[in-house]
Amino acid sequence: MKIGVALPQVGRLGGPANIATACRSAESLGYDSVWVNDRVLWPTEPQAPFPATADGSLHPEWKHNLDALDTLTFAAAHSSTLRLGTSVLILPVYDPVLLARRLTTIDILSGGRLIAGLGLGWSPDEYGATGTGWSDRAKRMEDSLEVISKIWAGGAVAHDSPYTHFSESIFEATPVRRPPVYLSAYSPAGLARIAAMADGWMPAGVPIPAMREMFGGIRAMAEGAGRDPGEIGLIVRGNCTIVGELPDADRFPFVGSIDQIIEDVHACQEIGANEVFLDVQFSSDVEGFEDYLDRMHAFAALNAVLA
């Protein structure tokens, strides 16, 4: 199983020197991948609560958030072996033709290292700010997946839908190899979309026993659709909160001591994950970049035992 780490992209950690150092450190420590998140806004009065916190609030560090794709391009230039992932781009708010070109460019410039993690997002504010319809976001996402797949295949391509139209055009710039597409989804319809249209699932914040059950359901749906279920991958995002040893009965995945978080990584491997990446940017014990690097070193032992 592969191990990755989220880049220092937000708040007081987010900056060019830190990102470059994080890439060099990740490579030297044996990490397989680095990851970026996507956040359009930090609304002061959000229309919907953030689903990943108990009180629905966005972490204040997100007020300073560097663009996902620009950060990943910068990371590509400061690394040579690391795979480069998005977790996750809010797909419907992007023009899919322009996004396909940007993702293709990152893949070419990095020598074929891109992993495309995509999702619907949760924030009506972000949809409103980008002029994107909220009620038909799932249909828009499926259409965008189709557009990107066509463009990545190259050659003469045309598309006509209620969301995207372009006449036959030639796309000669194509990815080094088709980047794997992982979707973040939790609803029955979202899991079915993974089974039908994606290379794998990218969950976050799901208890590991529930993750096992949901992943099994995705693979069963894929098999029912005529796909090889073994080809459906699982990349787990571990949003780490390092607070010291906690009773296992009361503990959420990736919350607790460093040893307990390492146990969670092993548990993900046992349910069939092909990769776990850890994000320590929001952990309460990470007060600066040196703390971030310390946590990166602390988890580096996983790279040897899980290889």
Which pLDDT tens digit goes with each residue over 160-174?
Answer: 999 999 999 999 999
| Contact present, 191 and 221 (Cβ < 8 Å) | yes
Q: Tell whether the model's pLDDT for residue 118 goes beyond 90.
A: yes
DSSP run (H or E) holding 33: strand 33-36
Predicted pLDDT of residue 136: 97
Average pLDDT of the chain?
96
Average pLDDT over residues 171-182: 98
What percent of the chain is predicted at pLDDT more than 90?
Answer: 95
Which amino acid appears at position 70 of this protein? D
Predicted pLDDT of residue 108: 98
Predicted pLDDT of residue 52: 86
301 band by pLDDT with thresholds 50, 70 and 90: confident
Q: Tell whether the model's pLDDT for residue 305 goes beyond 90.
A: no
Residue 190: closest CA among 252, 99, 238, 118: 118
| Residue 149 burial (10 A CB sphere; 0-12, 13-18, 19+) | middle
What is the distance between the alpha carbons of residues 256 and 262, in angstroms, rounded to a whole number? Answer: 10
Predicted pLDDT of residue 304: 76
Predicted pLDDT of residue 307: 62
What is the distance between the alpha carbons of residues 245 and 200, in angstroms, rounded to a whole number? Answer: 32
What's the pLDDT tens digit per position in 47-78?
Answer: 999 998 888 999 999 999 999 999 999 999 99
Query: Among all chains, which residue has been given the structure tokens 């971030």?
Result: 292
**CATH T-level assignment (fold) for domain 2-82+105-114+175-305:** TIM Barrel (3.20.20)
What percent of the chain is predicted at pLDDT more than 70?
Answer: 100
Residue 166: closest CA among 91, 93, 100: 100
- Ramachandran angles phi, psi of 38, nearest 5°: -130, 115
Predicted pLDDT of residue 137: 98
